[in-house]
Structure 1
């Protein structure tokens, strides 16, 4: 079952605002970033911004929900194209690392700032995140059932995602490994402990 999809409004000026907010929030944090700073970056007056957005928090939500949805959608597509449970878990991990690599600044804003959202928006993000975690844990459960794995699905899925997410702090696409190769290296370490003995 798919999560309800929400995406950034695709008007030209709004896309510019989202882009500059992503840069600003990732550089100095959401709370320190002011509407005046954003307006200066866009060459606009502060008051003019409100004809394009209702609040700074609204833009933060669109940045976060867009990348959370990308994790979810890309993960589902990757899993559908794979075969065994092990192949599906590997495909999901590769997809996850591609999103981190390709949308690094948005991912940073998501990880660092989602708790700054109001409660209804936090609840939407938590729901999307929980569905994504459930996708991975269900793949592991399937692997347990067919004899590929022998591990606790929920704990294992959280440990895998934590390991992948931690790469945001140090992974560089200019380094020796591609995003997919790094995902393979990480999941192979987990597979060594997950496989049925």
Structure 2
């Protein structure tokens, strides 16, 4: 009986008792590995999320740029159409201006004292008025700058004449009227411009 007790006492631990510590260590290791995998998975998801957000932001910026480009194109197209409407008659109006010039010259040469041509003169005046009215309906404006200061943007100086009665750089005579189409120069006015008399300039220099 005593030997049986010794034999039982000498027997090694059961398989369960031996494996249990190894199982606990293995579980701890697996938990650590799983924790690392979870951490790596979260970092990867975070990186992918940031990448997706950056791509979304870039796509939004591209949409905004495309929208701005479309607005600019539409605005330029509207401006081109507006200019086309405003200045489509430019060439046609230029063809009519010599007719108006000749009618005006005819009235100037006819004079008002000549009774023989009075009827013709009235007809020319009526025709000229109709031309001027038609041009005005399409925003063609005459430039008749007699007595005004010379403007190189709207006037073309054909000659300069000394004049004691007019300030220098004043338009003395309009040889041919100029015209504007919707505010843009269609044809400059051909003018004679005043300049200071030579004697007056000399006297001023002597006083100085």
TM, length-normalised to structure 1: 0.26
Select the structure that is richer in helix. 1
Select the structure that is richer in strand. 2
TM, length-normalised to structure 2: 0.25
Higher RCO structure, 1 or 2 (CA under 8 Å, sep 6+): 1
Question: Which structure's CA Rg is the greater one?
Answer: 2
